[in-house]
């Protein structure tokens, strides 16, 4: 009888222990699992690549560069981490370079108040011949205080093939042709000059007719750029298929980490990013493919009032038609010739032999 009672009590205890164990598993396992997942979870949310302006260090989206990068670019990665972590290295894998040349037609120009002329300049900043497509010039006058307009001129400027490094006068507009209209129609105050292709706007400039002096005037825009801080650099000038850089970047929540990439030749460059955090490996599933050309000139975007407008103002002050080769430019102003190492030295403290 006593033995049976002891067995009964033991069986009861085993049932209770089993029940408590089951309850513990139900409650504790998800907590432990969630803690483990939180401990290990780092994800890449997005990757964006910017061109780096060699003069200012500012970031430029390639939308402004016809899809072409220079040989020094910035790769920004947005990370999401559930805990505080440290990224200890960045690795580029699957690196491929296919040497290739690209045309790169860009525009410069501006209005000279003294001459009363607006000049449109085309230049090829690539390394093979390129086509400056047909351009449409539209000139309209606007009534004071209204949106009412009258078209004064609508011209087509034919396409033109431009050699690498060549700089040419695409169109020279004499604004004195419109004096009579504004003097005879005092309700009009503004002249709008528009240069565009069939798909994109090149420049659009409003000029105000000052009747006291009988000339057109403009209010120049204020331009500014913010330089970037020094950033890590991957020099991909060699033939390595994989390169790794050590770093120490704290991340928590939504964080960003970035690095620069440099090549020394025009090419199609592709690579993939892998990050490390202690024993964790965070692999991107994206293969970046960049079309990179080594620019001829430091001005990589079309820009009104840029380096070539300044150049022509100094060396062709009457705004007569012209065509300069890169050798002509170099003799007169070598500072506007692109130095492929300069930006990497300045913004990533790169050392080149």
Question: Read out DSSP for 201-246?
Answer: EEEEEEEEEETTTTEEE--PPP----PPPP--EEE--S--S-EEEE
**What do you get for the CA distance between the two ends of the chain, in Å?**
96
* Mean predicted confidence (pLDDT) in 318-323: 97
Q: Is the pLDDT of residue 31 over 60?
A: no
Residue 272 confidence class, pLDDT cut points 50, 70, 90: very high
Show Cβ contacts of residue 213 under 8 Å, excluding neighbours closer than 6 positions.
none
Q: Is the pLDDT of residue 278 over 90?
A: no
- Helix, strand, coil % over all residues of the chain, rounded to 5: 20, 45, 30
Residue 100: closest CA among 235, 237, 291: 291
Tell me the C-alpha distance between 157 and 132, whole Å. 10
Mean pLDDT of the chain, nearest integer: 87
Show Cβ contacts of residue 39 under 8 Å, excluding neighbours closer than 6 positions.
83
Tell me the C-alpha distance between 113 and 92, whole Å. 52
**Prediction pTM value:** 0.81
Environment class of 232 (CB within 10 Å of its CB; exposed 0-12, middle 13-18, buried 19+): middle
Here the tokens at position 303 are 């820009």
pLDDT, one tens digit per residue, over 153-162 is 999 999 999 9
Helices (H), the chain: 2-40, 179-184, 307-315, 326-332, 342-348
Question: Cβ distance 100 to 128 under 8 Å?
Answer: no
Residue 146 confidence class, pLDDT cut points 50, 70, 90: confident
Tell me the C-alpha distance between 227 and 8, whole Å. 81
pLDDT, one tens digit per residue, over 36-76 is 444 458 899 999 999 988 877 888 888 666 789 999 999 99
């Amino acid at each position: 009888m006593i033995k049976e009672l002891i067995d009964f009590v033991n069986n009861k205890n085993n049932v209770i222990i089993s029940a408590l164990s089951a309850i513990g598993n139900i409650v504790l396992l998800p907590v432990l699992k969630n803690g483990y997942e939180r401990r290990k979870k780092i994800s890449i949310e997005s990757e964006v690549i910017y061109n780096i302006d060699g003069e200012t260090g500012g970031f430029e989206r390639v939308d402004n560069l016809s899809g072409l990068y220079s040989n020094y670019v910035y790769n920004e990665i947005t990370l999401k981490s559930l805990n505080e972590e440290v990224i200890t290295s960045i690795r580029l894998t699957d690196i491929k370079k296919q040497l290739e040349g690209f045309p790169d037609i860009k525009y410069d120009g501006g209005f000279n108040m003294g001459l009363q002329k607006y000049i449109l300049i085309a230049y090829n900043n690539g390394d093979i011949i390129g086509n400056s497509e047909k351009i449409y010039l539209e000139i309209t006058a606007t009534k004071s205080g209204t949106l009412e307009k009258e078209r004064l001129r609508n011209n087509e400027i034919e396409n033109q093939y431009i050699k690498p490094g060549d700089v040419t006068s695409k169109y020279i507009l004499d604004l004195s042709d419109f004096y009579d209209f504004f003097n005879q129609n005092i309700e009009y105050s503004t002249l709008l000059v528009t240069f565009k292709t069939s798909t994109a706007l090149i420049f659009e400039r409003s000029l105000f007719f000052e009747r006291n002096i009988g000339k057109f005037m403009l209010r120049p825009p204020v331009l500014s750029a913010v330089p970037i801080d020094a950033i890590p650099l991957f020099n991909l000038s060699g033939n390595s298929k994989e390169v790794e850089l050590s770093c120490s970047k704290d991340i928590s929540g939504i964080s960003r980490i970035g690095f620069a990439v440099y090549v020394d030749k025009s090419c199609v460059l592709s690579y993939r990013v892998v990050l490390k955090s202690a024993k964790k490996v965070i692999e991107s599933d994206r293969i970046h493919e960049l079309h990179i050309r080594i620019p001829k000139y430091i001005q990589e975007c079309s820009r009104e009032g840029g380096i070539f407008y300044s150049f022509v103002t100094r060396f062709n002050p009457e705004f007569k038609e012209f065509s300069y080769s890169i050798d002509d430019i170099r003799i007169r102003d070598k500072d506007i010739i692109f130095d492929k190492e300069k930006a990497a030295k300045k913004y990533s403290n790169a050392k080149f032999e």
